[in-house]
Amino acid sequence: MASSSNFFFIFFLVLCLKITAKKTYIVQMKHQDKPLSFETHHDWHSSSLQSLTDSPPESLLYSYTEAFNGFAASLNEEQAESLNKSESILGVYEDTVYTLHTTRSPQFLGLDADLGLWATGGGTQASEDVIIGVLDTGVWPESMSFDDSGMPEIPSKWRGECEPGPDFGPKFCNKKLIGARSFSKGYRMAIGGGINKKPKEIDSPRDKDGHGTHTASTAAGSHVANASLLGYASGIARGMATRARVAAYKVCWETGCFGSDILAGMDRAIRDGVNVLSVSLGGRPAPYYRDTIALGAFAAVEKGIFVSCSAGNSGPTRATLANVAPWIMTVGAGTLDRDFPAYAVLGNKIRYNGVSLYSGRGMGKKLVGLVYNKDNNTFGNLCLPGSLKPSSVRGKVVICDRGTNARVEKGGVVRDAGGVGMILANTADSAEEPVADSHLLPAVAVGRKTGDLIRKYAQSNPNPTAKLVFGGTVLNVRPSPVVAAFSSRGPNMVTPQILKPDVIGPGVDILAAWSEAIGPTGLVKDTRKTKFNIVSGTSMSCPHISGLAALLKAAHPDWSPSAIKSALMTTAYTRDNTNSSLRDAADGSLSNPWVHGAGHVDPQKALSPGLIYDITTKQYISFLCSLAYTIDQVKTIVKRPNITCSKRFKDPGELNYPSFSVLFGDKRVVRYTRELTNVGPARSIFKVAVDGPSSVGISVRPRTLVFRHVGEKKRYTVSFVAKRKRRGSTVRSEYGSIVWGNAQHQVKSPVSFSWTFL
C-alpha cells in the first residue's frame, strides 16, 4: 500500500513539474494571418501568447520580424503544446544551445597596406560604406583595433545604436565601432530565475570572454603598430577590411549561445542595416527549418546580406560540419606561413619539435626529471584537476595527454602540483597537429607520433629527464597553408548533394585584439592582461572571409551574396607555397574537397573571377522543395505564405552551386545543368577542362562558352557516369574538378563523388 502511495506521489510530482517548469520556446506564426486590429506584429504576438496560454506579458522574450516570423517565449510544456494546436501557428520548437568555434594573415592573403587594388577614386576606400555585423561574445571597445582615426561620418543607411549598460554606453562607440547590442533573455531563462532576475553576467555588449573582440578585429580591425601577444607575432595587427564599419551583437554568454538570442541578434542586425554577418559559432547538424542560424541567414541573404559561418572544430573526424545551408559561406581553417616553435630535449639527447606561446622565464639549460602518470585510476595522464600527486611531479616536467579538459588548464594543474614544465602530447583523437597556447608554465605541445616516442622514453628509461626550449616567432614556414586538423570535415550530413565546407581561410595562431577583462588563456587564475591574443579555430577563419566579403561588396556593390561566395570559391587555390597539393595536418596526407572545400581563399583573384554562379531566392526555394520537407517546413525557412512547391528540383544537387557533390547510389548517371554569368570583359571565351578519377566519366556540353556582353548568362550541362559500381566500403569517395578557363581566368569547381551517403 505504501509503495502504491509513493508511486502516485511521484507521478503527481512529475506532472506538477511538467506543468510548472518553464523553458524557452521559439514559436513560428503565419505572418499573413495578423489581424488588422493589431498595429504591430509584437502586439499580435503578445496577444496570441496571452490568449492561447494564459501567460503573463513578461513571458514574451522576443518578437521577431526580419529573421523569422514569430516570437520566443518562456513556457511550460503544457503551454507549448497548447500553442502548437493553434491554426495561426506553424511550429513550436524548444530553444537550442550553440557553441563558439573557438598579424600576419593580411600579408599572407596578399592584402598589403599600400595596395591600391581595393581603392576607389580619390583615395577613399568604398569599404567605408560596408558594415560587418559580428554575432559573438560582445566587444572590448577600448581596443586600438577599433580606433576611428581618419574615418568619415557613419553611413546614413545605418539604423543601429550603441546600447547603454552598466559598463557600456554610446560614448564607447565611434565611426569605426558604430553599434553594439546585447541579447540575453534566452540565456537568462536557461540559467533559471527568469528574465527579471539579475544575471551572473552583466547584461551589456562588453566582451568579458575575448572571443568576440578577436573575431570583430580580425574582420575589420584598424591598423595597430607593435601588436603582439607578450612578444610573440610582433608587428602590425589589422583586419581584412580595415576601413569597414563594425557592429557587435552579443549573443553568447558563459553557458553558451542560445538560439532565441542568436535569432534576436540576427533580426536586429538585418533591421540595423548590416551588409555582412559574421557568425563564429554553431551547433549540431539539423534540418534547416530547425536550425536557428540557417533560418536567420536565409532572411539575411534574401535581403542582400552576405553570411559567413565557421565550419566547426570537430576535425579530423569526418561528417562533423556545422552551418551547411547552401546560402551560408561555410569556412574551414588552414595555417599561416608563421609558426611558434618550441622543443622538448630529452636525456637521451634527442630533440623533438613542438610549438608554444609560453612567454615567461625559461627552464634554463639543466635537465630535470620527466614523469608520465599513466594510471587508469587517477587519470594523471590527462592532468585533470586533483589527479597529480605533488610528491611525484614536484620539480619535474610532466607529460600530459591532450583531451577531456582544456589544454591550458592542464598546465595549471601541473604548476599547482609543483611541476616546472609540461609536454602536452596529442593522442589518436587529436592527431598530428599540436596547438600553440600561452601557457602558465613552460610548456611544449607535440603531435601524436612525437608524443608516443616521448611517452615511451618516459616509461622505459629508469631515470627519464627533459628540458624545454622556446624558439620565438618564425616566418615563411613551408609548406603552408596546411588544413588544420581540428577543422570540421564533410560530407554534408544535412544535404549530401551540396559540397561543404566551401573554402578554408587562416584559422591557426591568429593574432587579433583581446578583451582586457580576461587573461590570454581564459582561466580565472591567469591574471595576465594583454591587448592582443593568438587563438586558433574556425572561429578565426570565419571573420577573415567576412572581411574579404566586405571588400568584394565594396568593389562590386551590385553583387549578390551568392555572387560573392562564387567569386571566393572559384578562385580559391589548392596548392601550397611549395607548389604541392594542399595537405591535411591531421596526418600529413593530401587534403581533399571534403576537407578544404574549393580551396584556400585568394582575395586578389576573387576581385576579378571572370564568371560567377549566381543563385536567386526562387532557386533556393526550388532547392528546399526538393528536400523531404512539408510545405509548412519550407514556409518556416522562406517566410512566404504562397509557397506551393509546384516548381522543385528533381535533385537538390541541381542548385546553381559553385561546386558539385555527386551521389551515385543506385544510379550510374548523374546529370546537372549550371548557369554562369559573365562579370569579366565583353567578348570573353571560356573553354572547359575536366579532371576526375578513372572510375567516373565526365562530359560537358557545350565545351566552349562565348560571352558577348558583360552580365550575359550561359548554361552548360555536365554528365557524370560511373564506369563500374563500387562494392562495399572499399572506395567511398573520390574527387575531381571542372574548370572554365581562358588566358585571364580559371573558374574552378571541385567535385566529390560518392557511391554511398556515408
Q: Active-site positions?
A: 136, 211, 539
Rounded distance between C-alpha atoms, residue 751 and residue 570, angstroms: 12
Please give the helix or strand (H or E) that residue 672 lies within, else none: strand 669-678
Please enumerate in sequence order all residues whose Cβ is within 8 A of that of 519, keeping only pairs 6 or more positions apart, or say none: 526, 527, 528, 529, 530
Strand ranges in 53-158 using DSSP code E only, listed in sequence order: 60-64, 70-76, 89-94, 97-100, 131-136
Rounded distance between C-alpha atoms, residue 333 and residue 509, angstroms: 11
Q: Which three cell numbers stand for residue 367?
A: 635537465
Burial of 651 (0-12, 13-18, 19+ CB in 10 A): middle
Q: Which three cell numbers stand for residue 55?
A: 501567460
Rounded distance between C-alpha atoms, residue 164 and residue 182, angstroms: 10
Rounded distance between C-alpha atoms, residue 735 and residue 115, angstroms: 36
* Helical segments of 99-197, H only: 105-108, 185-190
Rounded distance between C-alpha atoms, residue 161 and residue 272, angstroms: 8
Q: Quick one: which of 121, 103, 139, 117 has its CA closest to 245?
A: 139
Rounded distance between C-alpha atoms, residue 657 and residue 641, angstroms: 26
Longest dimension (CA), the chain: 92
State how far the alpha carbon of 531 is from the alpha carbons of 217, 408, 519, in Å: 12, 19, 10
For strand 465-470 and strand 368-371, is the pairing parallel, antiparallel, or unpaired? antiparallel
Please enumerate in sequence order all residues whose Cβ is within 8 A of that of 7, keeping only pairs 6 or more positions apart, or say none: none
Please enumerate in sequence order all residues whose Cβ is within 8 A of that of 628, keeping only pairs 6 or more positions apart, or say none: none
